[in-house]
Chain A
Amino acid sequence: EAQVTQNPRYLITVTGKKLTVTCSQNMNHEYMSWYRQDPGLGLRQIYYSMNVEVTDKGDVPEGYKVSRKEKRNFPLILESPSPNQTSLYFCASSLSAGETQYFGPGTRLLVL
């Protein structure tokens, strides 16, 4: 089944404790992206990747890191999480940039 998977789906952590949210797609998509969703703000783009080893900042990259070492994986790293990073995070992928994106199920993060 073609899909985007994210792990974990739910995470509670404490301020400053490094964490990684994994994202994987099995559709051989070139483009991948991370978003955060907050009430009243919709989705905001954090980072995106056009292909392996090619990443760039979205609108809200502060406090996040990404890497794209393999085409299928695009992990999101929070090196020192803070409470304002409490949010619902989505990974998405598309065949190439600009095309319809397919989203993962979301990761709900709570930073205490």
Chain B
Amino acid sequence: AQKITQTQPGMFVQEKEAVTLDCTYDTSDQSYGLFWYKQPSSGEMIFLIYQGSYDEQNATEGRYSLNFQKARKSANLVISASQLGDSAMYFCAMREPYNFNKFYFGSGTKLNVKP
């Protein structure tokens, strides 16, 4: 069963604008963790941000923030003031509830930032 869904295969955003990348997840458990990773064209996977299911505040890391809506089971990544270097593939991932060893990734969203 699909645990993580990213419905936007590709997106464009104008430089300096904000963009939201969607991520929904599927679990009936209360304890889980959500991650976002960036994969530039060079191929490496770069950790961006983490949100725990019990965290009361939305996570933020510099220009990245996570719009966590627990009731909707969504964990959207918001990038403010997009830069050309933000052009990359972005993956949402979930840590399995109660088995911290297992992780599920979405299919990714390719973001293109236009000058």
Give A contacts to B, CB under 8 Å: 31, 33, 35, 40-45, 48, 50, 56, 58-59, 88, 90, 92, 96-98, 100-103, 105-106
Contact = CB atoms under 8 A, between A and B. Distances in A.
B106 A31 contact: no
Contacts of B45: 43, 90, 92, 103, 106
Interface in B85-106: 91, 93, 95, 100-106
Given A42-B105, A88-B43, A90-B45, A98 B91 contact: no
Interface residues of B, number: 23
B107 A41 contact: yes
Given A98-B33, A98-B95, A100-B35, A45 B43 contact: no
B47 interface: yes
Interface of B: 4, 6, 33, 35, 37, 43-47, 50, 91, 93, 95, 100-108
A contacts with B: majority SS:
strand
Sort A-B residue pairs by CB-CB distance and give the 8 closest, nearest first: A98-B100, A103-B45, A42-B105, A43-B105, A97-B100, A42-B107, A97-B101, A48-B101
Interface hub of A43, A100, A103 (most chain B Cβ within 10 A): A43
Given A103-B44, A105-B43, A98 B101 contact: yes
A34 B44 CA distance: 14
Nearest to B107: A42
A100 B47 contact: yes
A74 to B, nearest CB: 13
A46 to B, nearest CB: 11
B2 to A, nearest CB: 10
A42 B91 CA distance: 7
A50 B106 contact: no
A106 B91 contact: no
A100 B37 CA distance: 10
B107 A40 contact: yes
